[in-house]
Structure 1
Amino acid sequence: MAIFNFFYTVSVLALSCSWNAQALSNNRIRSTSTATARGSPLYHAPAPKHDVSGGRNAMDELTQDQKDRVNAFVIHQDGVPKIGFPADVRSLVQYNHGFAVMSTNSKLNPGFPGGSVVGFAVDEEGRPLFVFSGMSSHTTDILKDPKCSLTIADKNFKGAADGRVNLMGTSSRIKDEEEIEKIREIYLKKHPGAFWVNFGDFFFYRMEIEAIRFVGGFARAGSVSPEDYKNASPDPIMAFGAAIASHMNDDHSSATIAMVNHYIPSLAGDGYVQEAMINRVDAMGMDIMITRDPENNDRLPGQTQQFKVRLPFPGGAISERGGVKTAIVQMTQESASAQETTEEAK
């Protein structure tokens, strides 16, 4: 049970946590990452840390082979390239389905927050744009107190392992006719069926962002400054990454299993990886949900039956669709070749 608690605690924190590479028994979780492609600082203030003390003695119960596998897996996943927090947030907001939860200070119920599902689009600076009815409760709330927040989840959000962001700031009505026409065009591009934008009692609003809280999954959370958010660009691959993931999952799932077995340490062998579903593709690589053999608790002791891994593209950042195809074909071929060599050697 101690082994399970140890690896479960760390693995459930999904990729951003790590054991100390030189002394695994320390079991400390790092709360920062480099401000390069691997990700900007997780926290602008001292970061809270997860308590994993329950597993500190569990490493002593593992065999040396198990320790080596756990070590190799965690070090690899801790070092994989990521697009960085500002770009991650911009991408999540940009490619969302266009609906989110707005929280306001309730006029009708003073002292309580009001929550409304609202449609939104974003301008070139990533600022949310809205079309609100004058009769809506959130509209009357904003007119009294413009402070609000917008909670946006990844468009494929299914649970705590998926990304979400909370934008905080102030919303105000846009009255300049030239600005209104530009915003109308942006909003209709995101919501082509929004016929109410031309109603006389609907008005355009824009949110000025003052603070950002981001959760990219287990143990991948922190803040992004409004300036960094404004200066970041949405990841170009994530605009169509879902279509690539869907194609791979529907038609080439065995190739994905071969890739994670070949490129990620400690996963290959014994049919450990039973399913590998891509749930995100970005310029630096792919996030993949692994389903492992529930009977094999030896390879990575205590690992949850489903867990996310990060598989980077071998050539670095990619900026266009053709580059993604080339990278995946290359990785598929190399993985298949390695698999054939392994089988011949048996």
Structure 2
Amino acid sequence: MNPSENPAGQARQIVRSHAVGALSTLSVAMEGFPFGSVATYVLDHQAQPVFLLSDLAQHSRNIKHDPRSSLLVLESGAEEGVLARGRVTLVGETSVFEPDAHLRARYLRYFPEAAGFMETHDFRFYRMDVARVRFIGGFGRIHWIEGAAYQATMLDELAAAEAGALAHMNADHQQALRDYCRFYHGIEASGEVRMLGIDAEGFDLLCKGRRLRCQFPAPIQAAGEMRGVLVEMARTARQDAEG
């Protein structure tokens, strides 16, 4: 089954398509009360959120006291109103961790301005270990999803090959990237388009300052499948343009 046809896949697609959510932690200053804050995140290859947080931030202090937390991500762009939009609440435990070189590079591709923060002593990486997910796809589409079902398949070889594949696409296949923007999102790209990340279910583009998510027709099972899927998607987009 295509991930976009099941609740776990739909939840991942919403979270993958955004970079900002409401991070809720348990307050230290007001014991027993929830504390909500805006937080940016990048997903690892299992679709678990990774944050870069300052030790001085209230949510960091809360997490160190009690790791239980949640991240709410609201789907953007729906015309029907906010309550008709899809939204996902990831619930789990968030803790400090040290990302490997691939994940650190992935974070910087999505947030290049974070390079300066990484050099300071009071910013640390945190990752949420998702235990359960509440997914609301709109009126009447409400699901609880267990963490194991939400997590995407981790392909170590894909994580290792990601940076090289992105460099190749960005340097040699700008026309294909522009075709993706037009066909899958209805956006005509006149300037440079950058591919930010690739995972087993799709890829992210940066076009005119907007982040655009493109889903694969079906998840890939190995890094070697990536090229063929990208070529086929580009061919489909180009044939549409040629009529």
Judge same fold: TM > 0.5, yes or no. Answer: yes
Structural mapping, 1:205-216, within 5 Å = 205-216=126-137
- Which of 74, 95, 107 is the equivalent residue of 1:187? 107
Q: 2:192 maps to what in 1?
A: none
Question: Which structure carries more strand by proportion?
Answer: 2
Contact 2:92–2:130 (8 Å) recurs in 1: yes
Residue 125 of structure 1: CA displacement?
A: 0.8
Residue 91 of structure 1: CA displacement?
A: 1.8
- Distance verdict in 2 for CA 1:157–1:118, change over 3 Å: farther
C-alpha RMSD over aligned residues: 3.1
Overall identity of the aligned pairs, in %: 27
Residue 85 of structure 1: CA displacement?
A: 1.9
Q: 1:320 maps to what in 2?
A: 233
Contact 1:92–1:164 (8 Å) recurs in 2: yes
Confirm whether residue 93 of structure 1 aligns to residue 33 of structure 2: no
Residue 224 of structure 1: CA displacement?
A: 2.2
Q: How does the TM-score come out when normalised to structure 2?
A: 0.63
Q: Secondary structure at 2:90's aligned position in 1?
A: strand
Q: 1:113 maps to what in 2?
A: 34
Q: Which range moved further: 164-173 or 183-192?
A: 183-192
Q: 1:204 maps to what in 2?
A: 125
The amino acid across from 1:161 in the alignment is A
Contact 1:105–1:111 (8 Å) recurs in 2: yes
Q: Secondary structure at 1:125's aligned position in 2?
A: coil
Q: 2:66 maps to what in 1?
A: 145
Residue 180 of structure 1: CA displacement?
A: 5.2
The amino acid across from 1:113 in the alignment is P
Confirm whether residue 227 of structure 1 aligns to residue 129 of structure 2: no
Q: State the number of aligned residues.
A: 178
Structural mapping, 1:118-133, within 5 Å = 118-133=39-54
Confirm whether residue 173 of structure 1 aligns to residue 96 of structure 2: yes
The amino acid across from 2:137 in the alignment is G
Q: Secondary structure at 1:107's aligned position in 2?
A: coil
CA distance in 2, matches of 1:167, 1:193: 26
CA distance in 1, matches of 2:13, 2:144: 15
Q: Secondary structure at 1:224's aligned position in 2?
A: strand
Deviations 1:7-31 (A, max 9, x none): xxxxxxxxxxxxxxxxxxxxxxxxx
Q: Which range moved further: 206-215 or 194-203?
A: 194-203
The amino acid across from 1:92 in the alignment is I
Confirm whether residue 246 of structure 1 aligns to residue 186 of structure 2: yes
* Structure 1: gaps (5+ residues): 1-35, 40-81, 234-239, 249-279, 285-318, 334-346
Contact 1:129–1:183 (8 Å) recurs in 2: no
Contact 2:180–2:237 (8 Å) recurs in 1: no
Q: Secondary structure at 1:111's aligned position in 2?
A: coil
Structural mapping, 1:237-276, within 5 Å = 243-244=182-183, 245-247=185-187
The amino acid across from 2:89 in the alignment is N
The amino acid across from 2:127 in the alignment is R
